[in-house]
Amino acid sequence: MEATNSTFGKFSAGGVDVSIDEVAQIAKKAGDAIMKVYTETPLDNWASIAKSKGDGSPLTIADKAANDIICKELAAKYPFPIMSEENAMTSFAERSAWKYYWCVDPLDGTKEFIKRNGQFTVNIGLVEGSTPIAGVVYVPATAVMYKGVKGLGPPVRETDDPLGYDSYKSIFCARFEETDPNLKIVASASHNTPETEQFIAKYTTPSLQSYGSSLKLLMVAEGRAHVYPRLAPTMEWDTCAAHAIVECAGGEVLQFPGTYDGHPGDLDEGKPLRYNKKDVHNPFFVVYGKREAKTTRPKKDVDLTGGGTTKIATKIIVVIVAGAAAFFAFCNAV
């Protein structure tokens, strides 16, 4: 995961040179700080790592440590504003003038972190206007990094091998038609809703899986799931980085009708999620892999001579025989 000699993911944003591998290194450093808390806190002290924020959601010392690392290092390398779950929210009057900014969730899946199930991530996305253009998602518990930049080909999944032999591969969304049976649907492990169950019911014998954090979007991005309906509350920093990766892999993250807690989320049904809104709650949304309509084309015989319906095998034989006869005639003449 070293960025020094990497040529992947280097691009310009508003005249600023950005290396997505440098951003990935920052995410990994934050992930290391998270894992230090995760592995070194005695179990009898585990309950002391978290407290509730004003909205009732949990905040851990790992969230704070990761946020400090990310914000400090991004600010030192790149002159873009930072929107982070753990920072005070900048006024919309000021944010509305941002051309580019970082959208950060230093520990996505805090509930999963507290449960100690490994299903938590570090999310760093870069937004142009209201559209995510690059993203890094690191999974600290498994040392797996996802990163993608729009316009630079498919995203990649990289495993940090302690021996130094990183496993690095491109990832792609799975192709499917929505009427296909046995589609793989992934849903939230902590936020299942009646709306979600109703959405899933329209598919024929779907295979259901539950995961936490932005891992659900990544499952669609790498083809391990076809659809992820999120018909429950989320914030922009929960989705931004993984949203960019899904789109790089050929998928979609589309707004879906629904409301919650008085936050309809500035809905524009069927359009991609937008960012840096006045209200930074997301509307409901659905993540799709590569949806396509299947077409069946009739097989046709290939006519090499323009003679109609003669089969290709006959034509090939005719050409070979004619060629051989001409060759022997030439030899006899000589």
Residues 227 and 220: beta-carbon distance below 8 Å: yes
**What is the DSSP code (8-state) at residue 181?**
T
Determine how β-strand 131-139 pairs with β-strand 121-128: antiparallel
Angle made by CA atoms 279, 281, 287, in degrees to the nearest 5: 135
How far apart are alpha carbons 205 and 200 in whole angstroms? Answer: 10
Q: Is 163 annotated as a binding residue?
A: no
Residue 241, token pair as written in the block: 């980085």
Of 112, 149, 179, nearest in space to 18 by CA: 149
Cα(166)–Cα(164) distance, rounded to whole angstroms?
Answer: 6
Nearest to 265 by CA among 253, 255, 254: 255
Give the number of residues written for the chain.
334
**DSSP letter string over 62-75?**
HHHHHHHHHHHHHH
Q: What token pair was written down for 161? A: 């091998």
C-alpha distance from residue 237 to each of 60, 68, 102 (Å) = 17, 16, 9
- 105 annotated as a binding-site residue: yes
Q: Is 68 annotated as a binding residue?
A: no
List, as own/partner pairs, every contact residues 196-203 make where C-beta atoms lie below 8 angstroms and the sequence separation is at least 24, other chains included: 196/229, 196/230, 196/231, 196/232, 199/229, 199/231, 199/286, 200/229, 203/178, 203/227
Q: Is 160 annotated as a binding residue?
A: no
Asked if residue 268 belongs to a known ligand binding site, the reply is: no
CB atoms within 10 A of CB 151: 8
* Order of strands, sheet of 144-149, starting from the edge strand that comes earlier in the sequence: 82-84, 100-108, 121-128, 131-139, 144-149, 156-159, 167-170
Binding positions for Mg(2+) = 85, 105, 107-108, 238
Binding residues: 85, 105, 107-108, 238
